DNA sequence: CCCATCTTACTTTCTCGACAGTAAGTTAAA
DNA sequence: TTTAACTTACTGTCGAGAAAGTAAGATGGG
């Protein structure tokens, strides 16, 4: 039991007197001063974990992460309890960082959202490590019992809702009503961002991440706000079945 | 060395006489009749591997695959030599199947390509196993030394080129010249297909795979053939750096 | 200010389960 | 009687987590 997260407030149960009956609440001590080093070390580990999960996936050994911060794998477990707990903290950490520098500290709800997404894509082109971690993990997570599966499930639900809300605001301004299109467009925008990251990670010279994301988002937004008749005559049902 | 793929034509080197010198080509026998069972077993294994790689990723144990065909893991290795060799054969097998039922046996080069892609998306909505295998593996493959990395690198290069060619054909018909846009649109179309598959695999009830793919492809095609001015006033450069 | 004591922040070491690949033996078909 | 198509058994390795020990701060009492 020496491996609980040290700064977890829940864990601090001061031991009541449990020896004899004559003892009067002996040492109700609580030197709960989390050392200032601790927070910094934790963040060091998180950043190393991002790099390693990105480079090797979740299955990469804990010792890879530990070495980067000059520690043994047991030291990392001391901070995070288990490998999957570390993974989930990594994911939350990056999501937090993503909106950290926004003035309102959460995403804009109107057309500004799309500008924010494009800006993020340009930014991502400068930080392959983090992008790779999220890309690898979000796809690994579709496997049946992956520890990050529910994290990503919820994440996409929330993101789609945010994007769809932004679309609805814009549609209202233009007097457009197309609920189905809005939902599909929201999913498409997230999809194109993820998909472009895969291609970019496989060959950064082959895809311009920022510019291509911008193009695709503009295409989808345009199709929502002023739909054109389809140039593909579509018999969409599969013929052979 | 007893574990080479049994039907690999390269491996069939009949042993010349190497015993003594007076012996005259003693038993130049060749019972090299690959049994008809063999090809069927191989395909059984490949299909089981698709299901398992999809459900558990590449890191899933070989014995999972072996059990599905009533074999031990060593039996699987007898056919494919190594786990990564099996992986690569799985990938090639699925790519082959994809165009197998096309009349020309390769993808159309014009607007028909986009119809084919949409049709494939509707079809994929019926076969989660194969989709999941490709989705999981293509993202796992971005890790540094994954055995399937170069497979996917080349695959995207080829697919982007095919889609871009189709765009160029259509642009020529319409008298449009926009080479950069064509390249970005090609990458975007593949991206949106991959990204939608991730979301769909995480929650099939949340995303309509076929319909949404169709919407996104139409949006991108429309933007190429008749681009509109951007509704997003864009200062794309990242401000804080 | 200093000492006794508790806690944090690790390390070393061990266990135990997976799992890929190998080697040798077995059966049956050609 | 040779070879393909396996099986059983074994090996080596790797990796997560538990256990226990240790060193260095804090903390409070005097």
How many angstroms away from the CA of B159 is the closest CA of chain A? 11
SS3 A147: coil
Rounded to an integer, what is the distance from CA B217 to the centroid of its chain?
Answer: 20
Distance CA A220, CA A120 (A): 17
User: How does pLDDT run across A191-206, given as a tens digit for each residue?
Assistant: 999 999 999 999 999 9
For residue B138, the tally of other CB atoms under 10 A from its CB is 24
Span B5-19, average pLDDT:
36
Span A43-57, average pLDDT:
93
Of A191, A203, A231, the CB nearest to B221: A231
Q: Note the helical H segments in B141-178.
A: 149-174
Domain at A37-93: CATH code = 1.10.10.60
Distance CA A179, CA A166 (A): 12
Distance CA B137, CA B160 (A): 19
Angle in degrees, CA A89, A153, A204, rounded to 5: 75
The number of CA neighbours under 13 Å toward the Cβ of A221 is 26
CB spacing of B157 vs A123 below 8 angstroms:
no
CB spacing of B195 vs A192 below 8 angstroms:
yes
Nearest-CA residue relative to C1' of D27: A31
8 A C-beta contact, residue A167 and residue A182: yes
Indicate whether A23 pLDDT > 70.
no
> What are residue B161's phi and psi, to 5 degrees?
-65, -40
Tokens 């003594």 locate to B20
Indicate whether A13 pLDDT > 50.
no
CB proximity list for B227: less than 8 A, separation 6 or greater: B178, B181
Per-residue pLDDT at B131: 87
Range with the poorest average pLDDT among A152-156, B27-31, B191-195: B27-31
Helix, strand, coil percent content, chain A, rounded in steps of 5:
60, 0, 40
CB spacing of A202 vs B156 below 8 angstroms:
yes
Per-residue pLDDT at B96: 81
A136 chain-B contacts, CB cut-off 8 A: 139-140, 142-143
B17 CB-to-strand C distance under 7 Å:
no
8 A C-beta contact, residue B129 and residue B65: no
Terminal-residue alpha carbon distance, chain A: 57
**A201 near B CB under 8 A:** yes
Q: Which of A18-22, A110-114, A233-237 has the highest mean pLDDT?
A: A110-114
Give the confidence band of A9 by pLDDT, cuts at 50, 70, 90. very low
DSSP state of A64: H
Per-residue pLDDT at B188: 98
Span A167-188, average pLDDT:
96
Indicate whether A77 pLDDT > 80.
yes
Q: Which nucleotide is nearest to B12 (CA to C1')?
A: D3
CB spacing of A198 vs B232 below 8 angstroms:
no
Distance CA B49, CA B156 (A): 22
Distance CA B129, CA B53 (A): 9
**B160 near A CB under 8 A:** yes
Per-residue pLDDT at B185: 98
| Mutation to test the A interface, candidates B113, B136, B163, B195, most A Cβ within 10 Å | B195
Indicate whether A235 pLDDT > 70.
no
Residue A113's alpha-carbon distances to A46, A99, A157, B4, in angstroms, are: 28, 12, 16, 55
Range with the poorest average pLDDT among A45-54, A164-173, A220-229, B12-21: B12-21
A41 CB-to-strand C distance under 7 Å:
yes
One DSSP character per residue, A60-90 reads S-HHHHHHHTT--HHHHHHHHSSHHHHHHHH
Range with the poorest average pLDDT among A138-147, A191-200, A211-220, B16-25: B16-25
User: How does pLDDT run across B165-187, given as a tens digit for each residue?
Assistant: 999 999 999 999 999 999 999 99
CB spacing of A115 vs B210 below 8 angstroms:
no
Of A56, A191, A208, the CB nearest to B192: A191
Span A217-221, average pLDDT:
97
Indicate whether B30 pLDDT > 50.
no
Give the confidence band of B233 by pLDDT, cuts at 50, 70, 90. low
Per-residue pLDDT at B16: 36
Indicate whether B239 pLDDT > 60.
no
- What are the structure tokens assigned to A213, written together? 């994301």
Selection from A139, A181, A34 nearest residue B199 by Cα:
A139
For residue B64, the tally of other CB atoms under 10 A from its CB is 16
Average pLDDT over chain B reads 83
Give the confidence band of A4 by pLDDT, cuts at 50, 70, 90. very low
Please count the residues of chain A: 241
Of B132, B228, B230, the CB nearest to A142: B132
Terminal-residue alpha carbon distance, chain B: 56
Q: Which nucleotide is nearest to A35 (CA to C1')?
A: C8
User: How does pLDDT run across B66-123, given as a tens digit for each residue?
Assistant: 999 999 999 999 999 999 999 999 999 988 877 777 788 788 988 999 999 999 999 9
Domain B38-86: which topology? Arc Repressor Mutant, subunit A (1.10.10)
Distance CA A162, CA B112 (A): 34
CB spacing of B142 vs A136 below 8 angstroms:
yes
8 A C-beta contact, residue B89 and residue B73: no
SS3 A116: helix
**B46 near A CB under 8 A:** no
A156 chain-B contacts, CB cut-off 8 A: 199, 202-203, 206
B72 CB-to-strand C distance under 7 Å:
no
Indicate whether B26 pLDDT > 70.
no
CB proximity list for A233: less than 8 A, separation 6 or greater: B115
Distance CA A6, CA B187 (A): 46
Of A160, A228, A232, the CB nearest to B118: A232
For residue A96, the tally of other CB atoms under 10 A from its CB is 10
Per-residue pLDDT at B115: 95
Distance CA B7, CA B214 (A): 41
Distance of C1' in D2 from CA in B95, Å: 38
Per the model's pLDDT, the better-predicted residue between B130 and B225 turns out to be B225
Per-residue pLDDT at A231: 64
Average pLDDT over chain A reads 84
CB spacing of A138 vs B221 below 8 angstroms:
no
Domain boundaries, chain B: 38-86, 107-227
Per-residue pLDDT at A33: 52
Per-residue pLDDT at B181: 97
Helix, strand, coil percent content, chain B, rounded in steps of 5:
60, 0, 40
């Amino acid at each position: 039991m020496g491996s609980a997260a040290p700064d977890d407030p829940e864990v601090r149960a001061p031991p009541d007197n449990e020896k004899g009956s004559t003892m009067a609440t002996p040492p109700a001590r609580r030197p709960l001063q989390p050392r200032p080093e601790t927070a910094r070390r934790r963040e060091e580990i998180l950043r190393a974990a991002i790099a390693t999960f990105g480079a090797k996936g979740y299955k990469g050994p804990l010792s890879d992460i530990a070495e980067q911060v000059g520690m043994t794998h047991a030291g990392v477990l001391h901070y995070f309890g288990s490998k999957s707990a570390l993974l989930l903290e990594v994911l939350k950490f990056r999501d937090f960082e993503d909106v950290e520098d926004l003035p309102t500290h959460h995403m804009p709800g109107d057309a500004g959202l799309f500008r924010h997404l494009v800006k993020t894509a340009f930014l991502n082109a400068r930080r392959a490590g983090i992008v790779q971690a999220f890309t690898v993990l979000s796809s690994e997570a579709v496997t049946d019992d992956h520890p990050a599966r529910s994290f990503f499930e919820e994440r996409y639900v929330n993101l789609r809702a945010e994007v769809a809300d932004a679309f609805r605001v814009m549609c209202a301004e233009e007097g457009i009503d197309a609920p189905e299109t809005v939902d599909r467009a929201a999913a498409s925008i997230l999809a194109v961002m993820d998909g472009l990251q895969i291609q970019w990670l496989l060959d950064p010279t082959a895809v311009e991440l920022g510019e291509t994301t911008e193009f695709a988002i503009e295409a989808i937004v345009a199709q929502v706000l002023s739909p054109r008749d389809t140039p593909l005559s579509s018999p969409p049902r599969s013929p052979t079945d």
